[in-house]
Amino acid sequence: MNVAVRGDDRFTKVDGLAIRYLEEGSGVPTLLLHGNSLGSSADVFRRNLRALGANGIRAIAVDFPGFGKSDATDDLSAGYRKKFILHFMNALGLDRAALIAHSAIGNAALGIALEHPDRVTHLVILGTGSLLPPLETAGTKVGGREEAAQARLEDRMVREEPTLANTRALLEANLFHHELITDDELQLRHQNSIGPCFAEFVRRHDAASTPGASGGKPSVPLWQRYGELKMPLLLIYGREDRGRAAERVEVLKQRYPGLNLHVAEGCKHLVPWDAADLFHRLAAPFLTR
């Protein structure tokens, strides 16, 4: 295992790329995986690493290629995200690990758990809207409408690099507790939203907009495959998250009444921030059991 350490940052090579990650604690190897939004990075989990690391967990948060301080990749496909997670595990010498996935990366994490159950010990999903069933409202699927609204927002965001005020507004849109946006947090998020990170965001957006880039929707939605998982599963969603997430959680509970499924009060989309205490209280015993 070839690792370089610079302050809090650690770097390893994955597929020839310099990949940055943060690590705290020892015990159950656990990868914390950030979403695809502008400004996302391993830093999303800074407030969680120490709490998890103090409870028998080797907590590892990684910058995906093209995010944070990691090198960019030419392969922008959804399939590569799954390969990258496995290759990153290999680079750290991890045969098996728990996966904690926030937002859109939950799809890749669930896909790995289904396709490579021998590599995943536990799975935690935080606020992945596409892993909830849609609501049928007047013939319109609410889940699909949420995805369309998010696509329109990204179309506006790629036109111009964000100002500091833009970055704050985006954080506020995803956070219930705005007091968590300290000056340091805002500056860190902004640095991960401009320059090379913004250029990569535009490149990912353009690639995703190419016809056929998604490879088509699976014949069976991933949220209908929870029963196939061979490892423990924990799901946490914010009651105030977009797309009427709390109502869709109730639909999922009816479909799978045995799911370890929780709704965090006073929580929007940034579950690791808004619901940090609940997340730590549920995840620590879940991962070390």
pTM: 0.92
Three-state SS letters, the chain: CCEEEECCEEEEEECCEEEEEEEECCCEEEEEECCCCCCCCHHHHHHHHHHHHCCCEEEEEECCCCCCCCCCCCCCCHHHHHHHHHHHHHHCCCCCEEEEEEHHHHHHHHHHHHHCHHHEEEEEEECCHHHCCCCEECCEEHHHHHHHHHHHHHHHHCCCCCCHHHHHHHHHHHCCCHHHCCHHHHHHHHHCCCCHHHHHHHHHHHHHHCCCCCCCCCCCCHHHHHHHCCCCEEEEEECCCCCCHHHHHHHHHHHCCCCCEEEECCCCCCHHHHCHHHHHHHHHHHHHC
pLDDT in tens, the chain (289 residues): 677 666 789 999 999 999 999 999 999 999 999 999 999 999 999 999 999 999 999 999 999 999 999 999 999 998 999 999 999 999 999 999 999 999 999 999 999 999 999 999 999 999 999 999 999 754 455 555 555 555 566 667 778 899 999 999 999 999 999 999 999 999 999 999 999 999 999 999 888 877 655 555 677 899 999 999 999 999 999 999 999 999 999 999 999 999 999 999 999 999 999 999 999 999 999 999 8
Q: Where are the domains of the chain?
A: 3-212+223-288
Domain 3-212+223-288, second-level architecture: 3-Layer(aba) Sandwich (3.40)
